[in-house]
Amino acid sequence: MKYLLLPFMLIIAGSALPAQPKSNSKPEPKPAVQWAIEPQFKYVNDFSQGTAAVQSGETWGYINTAGAMVIAPRFYEAHPFYEGLAVFAQDSSTYGYIDATGAVVIPARFRSAARFSDGVAFVVGDDGWPCYINRYGQTVLTNRNAAGETVWDYGFEFANGIAPVSSGGSYDAALQMTGGIYFFTTKFNTYPFFTGFYDDALPFSDGLAPVLKGGFWGCINAQGKVVVEHKFEEIRGYAGGYTVASLKSGDAVRWAILDAKGTIALELPRDREPWGGVHEGTVAIKVPGGKTGVVNLKGEWIVEPLFADISAFHEGLAAASLDGQTYGFIRVPVKK
């Protein structure tokens, strides 16, 4: 699954499904699918807090779970709601926040903006300085210490008062931070919060944070203790006590579903690749040939791999497209 990016910031828990490149080959017959919301959108995000951001024409708006447009399409870009607020863009370079009615509550004045989590959101101001703001748009945490020295350059989501930050990295072509060192801070700007430094780190979810050290990923708890051993090629964020991770097996990479202790709950067949992470006990899977479907935590197909693109279920609905050009949502299991 591909994800919609804001400048500098990957939105991990809210995926966007973009249209796939058109093919000149003769289209295959489309299987019968029971749609909850008929395919009609160019791009979509997963449902969050009762709505999903969708692109209708050239602008973005929001639909509810019945498919009704509840915030009219008028945004250059729109993202899922978290803690009652959603990131929007008025053009290609300025971001702000709207509430559930579509009213602008924090004007578009940021070069980059991430979703709210734990009452704050990471932004990069028009002056280029990173900081965290509250829901009123006020700066509540800067990247400098009491002496005015810059301590970190890039921040991630807070969870239970703790967030990973990085220092010394650089932005790549996709405007994502690469390199540098990663450590954890608190809302009181204490750093490093843990004694360790990492080569990469992701925010806490379900009480665990994936961290990269010595070339392998593992997970730490809120006390900084390693709970999931550093032996994985990749680990994604936990949801509902499970995540997906990859392991080297000879020259191949094998994917598995892990529980909260890092134990392999299910090893996926070699020809199946997670197309995103775990959500609501489901995982989108890509199979040879490029088709995607959804499995449960036992590896059983609950949505057969019939789709050009699909997400895991969010609020009982999965974003999906048969042709990679128009997207809708399904609610019930789909079988061949």
Q: pLDDT digits over 138-185, tens only?
A: 999 999 988 889 999 999 999 999 999 999 877 666 556 677 899 999
Domain-located, residue 51: yes
| Residue 154 belongs to domain with CATH number | 2.130.10
Domain-located, residue 220: yes
What SS3 string covers 186-216? ECCCCCCCCCCCECEECCCECCEEEEEECCE
What SS3 string covers the chain? CCCCEECCEECCCCCEECCCCCCCCCCCCCCCCCEEEEEEECEEECCECCEEEEEECCEEEEEECCCCEEEEEEECEEEEEECCEEEEECCCCCEEEECCCCCEEEEEEEEEECCCECCEEEEEECCCCEEEECCCCCEEEECECCCCCECCCEECCCECCEEEEEECCEECCCCCEECCEEEEEECCCCCCCCCCCECEECCCECCEEEEEECCEEEEECCCCCEEEEEEECEECCCECCEEEEEEEECCEEEEEEECCCCCEEEECCCCCEEEEEEECCEEEEECCCCCEEEEECCCCEEEEEEECEECCCECCEEEEECCCCCEEEECCCECC
Cα torsion angle, 175, 176, 179, 181, sign: positive
What is the signed CA dihedral for 267, 272, 276, 281, rounded to 10 degrees?
-50
Domain-located, residue 278: no
pTM of the shown model:
0.87
Domain-located, residue 205: yes
Q: Which amino acid is at 315?
A: E
What confidence score (pLDDT) does residue 29 get?
56
What confidence score (pLDDT) does residue 35 get?
95
Q: Given pLDDT bands bounded at 50, 70 and 90, which one contains residue 46?
A: very high
Domain-located, residue 172: yes
**Average predicted confidence (pLDDT) for the chain:** 89
Instruction: Output b/e per residue, 261-278; b: 16+ Cβ within 10 A.
Output: ebeebbebeeebbbbbbb
Q: Which amino acid is at 69?
A: M
Domain-located, residue 54: yes
Give percent above pLDDT 90 in the chain: 76
Domain-located, residue 295: no
Answer whether residue 13 shows pLDDT above 80. no
Q: Which range has the worst mean pLDDT, 29-33, 192-196, 233-237, 313-317?
A: 29-33
What confidence score (pLDDT) does residue 180 get?
87
Whether the CB-CB separation of 297 and 258 falls below 8 Å is answered with no
Answer whether residue 86 shows pLDDT above 90. yes
Answer whether residue 21 shows pLDDT above 90. no
Domain-located, residue 308: no
What confidence score (pLDDT) does residue 28 get?
57
Residue 155 to residue 177: CA distance in whole angstroms: 10
Answer whether residue 230 shows pLDDT above 50. yes
- Mean pLDDT, rounded, for 54-69: 98
What confidence score (pLDDT) does residue 146 get?
84
Q: Which range has the worst mean pLDDT, 4-18, 282-296, 314-328?
A: 4-18
243 or 193: which carries more pLDDT confidence?
243
- Mean pLDDT, rounded, for 50-61: 98
Domain count, the chain: 1
Which residues span the domain enclosing 188?
5-25+32-240
Q: Which amino acid is at 235?
A: I
What confidence score (pLDDT) does residue 10 get?
37
